[in-house]
Structure 1
């Protein structure tokens, strides 16, 4: 038997690598996995098979040359729709085009079956619900509502806008346009009253945590859903007091003053699925994993968490008021306060530069629309 020539052996190895790379790429493009992140080892090796494939994507798994163009089959689907008509599945299709690992189904809020969501069961807050199962059961038994409401839940296509709190919103007169969205998401204590011209008057939900919640009951909008994004175990305990209208006992463990009451009925309160915090941090932005627990620089801002939620649950996603111009430290940080951009540098939990790169990918590829052009 004659020995195989070295040149032929090299060619066979290269061909094998190309075939493996093609198979891996195809499986990622056509995957039908259940929602949730891969294991950490899978994340570390996600594009390690085949140099051809690896060169197309960055280390987070995003297409390196994202130009906003849709694959031909999707271009035909959306290109012939009348202007203004809601494009069903549009943001998810755009996201999948630049991030093949994306899978849309992921429940917006926790419901009584939350323990089936294994990807959050293995993590402590803010990335999961580990050790908090019992108190969550108590809270959910009282709220008894786990969606946006019958009217919005029945829509076959939803247009959502996430309103950031950036000073860039000032004097843009975007209010009327914002109010035309099906779902308007606001964050923390950002006020509406007195700012309607720029930020609109409609609020579908307000996502927050104890330290970020509105502290004056009269400032809450009517008919909005109060949504907790829990960053630590103590936050669930706080929500329990709010749901049952009990006097708050003990305020140690919070980094600043917290709301003592929330003027909402239990049926108007929700718990945000912590998977969105987990996915935004470890998969989309690429923050330090830190064994899956909160640490320095590995917590995404609530804005990025809300955008991640919208990508999974809305058909079209827009944002307004997102702008971290670190080159201009004296620029206003918020549209409603006098604090400056320089104060964001004091945060040890966020990585603003890394987060901005993630949002820029979404805007460049047309996954989200930036109404204030601040990203």
Structure 2
């Protein structure tokens, strides 16, 4: 009998099975599946948390700045001397006798501009062939135009007194604020305004009468009182849907919710004027005006003229003498107010790319220098 020394055998618990070394470190398939499942769901929760945090960060980046204090516009007021000089200049223009054909005669001195006044101001039929799409033409919108013209009792120019006529084109510039030109503006035969530039509450500076208001749907005022003392609302067509909107306004039949989705902002459903008070501006005015402006720009541009400048061209077609008030941009003070109303700053206009305001300023200066138009507020 042999006795083994130093050999110790550990007794296993009852019902236990001895394991090899490899078996002690290996996982069963069931255990491995449970572990991987826990890791998967932990990863899902982590991703969900990160997604929520990222979403909240994006919302904060968008919404929080709206509640932070913003830089207030700079309010640059005119001196008493400047204010009196503007009033005296305006009074002198009104005291002179009106000279028939003066503006058109002076236009001979301005490059390529005289042909603009030969274009019919308003569309009177829908049978013309258009080569360009809106806003430079009406290609592709001929049927819609014909439908809109059918609901307009009058489509030609309004009936004006058969005498020497003076036009005042009222711009929206800050220069008009505090000048008390309202009473002077009201004395003009034809007063042209643009978009939703307010009259109500600003009569002392901007006057209270409107002969023609140039608009497009997204810029038409929602305030009924802004259409009081208004003779004509003239649509400037930027897209086919604008014609449908005009038909809706004239017939008092609201557009469908689907049509309204294609405007870039809410549009007014009703303008308290009779059907005979609506017109459609001839898009050829926009097209030819752009062609002239391109000769003043640094390069050929795909921009469109501002409605303010379009109003000047319209005035030259309708009147013997043309004056401007509220025109001009103060680019030296980007933080100054842009309009005689509201709180929009000048840098808003400087950042836009739709209009070539530098070319328009150069051309307006030539028109003033040539005596074609009179700049009452002196900011051009």
Shared fold per TM-score greater than 0.5:
yes
Q: How far does residue 274 in structure 1 lie from its aligned partner after superposition?
A: 1.1
1:262 equivalent to 2:267? Answer: no
Q: How far does residue 90 in structure 1 lie from its aligned partner after superposition?
A: 0.9
Within 5 Å, give how 1:336-347 maps onto structure 2: 336-347=341-352
Within 5 Å, give how 1:218-237 maps onto structure 2: 218-237=225-244
1:138 maps to which of 128, 132, 147: 147
Alpha-carbon distance between aligned partners in 2 of 1:313 and 1:284, rounded to the nearest angstrom = 21
Q: How far does residue 304 in structure 1 lie from its aligned partner after superposition?
A: 0.7
How many pairs align? 282
2:187 maps to which of 170, 180, 184: 180
Query: Unaligned 5+ residue runs, structure 2?
Result: 1-93
Q: How far does residue 372 in structure 1 lie from its aligned partner after superposition?
A: 0.6
* CA RMSD in angstroms, aligned pairs only: 2.0
1:325 equivalent to 2:330? Answer: yes
2:253 maps to which of 225, 243, 246: 246
Within 5 Å, give how 1:57-72 maps onto structure 2: none
Q: How far does residue 266 in structure 1 lie from its aligned partner after superposition?
A: 1.2
What TM-score do you get using the length of structure 1 for normalisation? 0.71
Q: Tell me if the contact between 1:213 and 1:259 (Cα under 8 Å) persists in the aligned partners.
A: yes
Residue 93 (structure 1) aligns with: 105
Residue 335 (structure 1) aligns with: 340
Query: Unaligned 5+ residue runs, structure 1?
Result: 1-81
SS of equivalent residue, structure 1 residue 204: strand
Alpha-carbon distance between aligned partners in 1 of 2:183 and 2:95, rounded to the nearest angstrom = 18
Residue 45 (structure 2) aligns with: none
CA shift in 2, pair 1:200/1:148, >3 Å = farther
CA shift in 2, pair 1:353/1:223, >3 Å = closer
- Residue by residue, what CA displacement relative to the aligned partner does 1:138-187 show, whole Å, maximum 9, x if unpaired? 2222212134433x1x4232211110111110111111111111000011
What TM-score do you get using the length of structure 2 for normalisation? 0.70
* Runs of 4+ displaced beyond 4 Å: 287-290
Alpha-carbon distance between aligned partners in 2 of 1:100 and 1:337, rounded to the nearest angstrom = 36
Q: How far does residue 217 in structure 1 lie from its aligned partner after superposition?
A: 2.5
Residue 159 (structure 1) aligns with: 166
Within 5 Å, give how 1:280-291 maps onto structure 2: 280-286=289-295
CA shift in 2, pair 1:311/1:164, >3 Å = same
Alpha-carbon distance between aligned partners in 2 of 1:94 and 1:128, rounded to the nearest angstrom = 28
Alpha-carbon distance between aligned partners in 1 of 2:113 and 2:269, rounded to the nearest angstrom = 41
Residue 42 (structure 2) aligns with: none
Structure showing greater Rg: 2
SS of equivalent residue, structure 1 residue 263: coil
2:312 maps to which of 297, 307, 313: 307
Alpha-carbon distance between aligned partners in 1 of 2:207 and 2:225, rounded to the nearest angstrom = 18
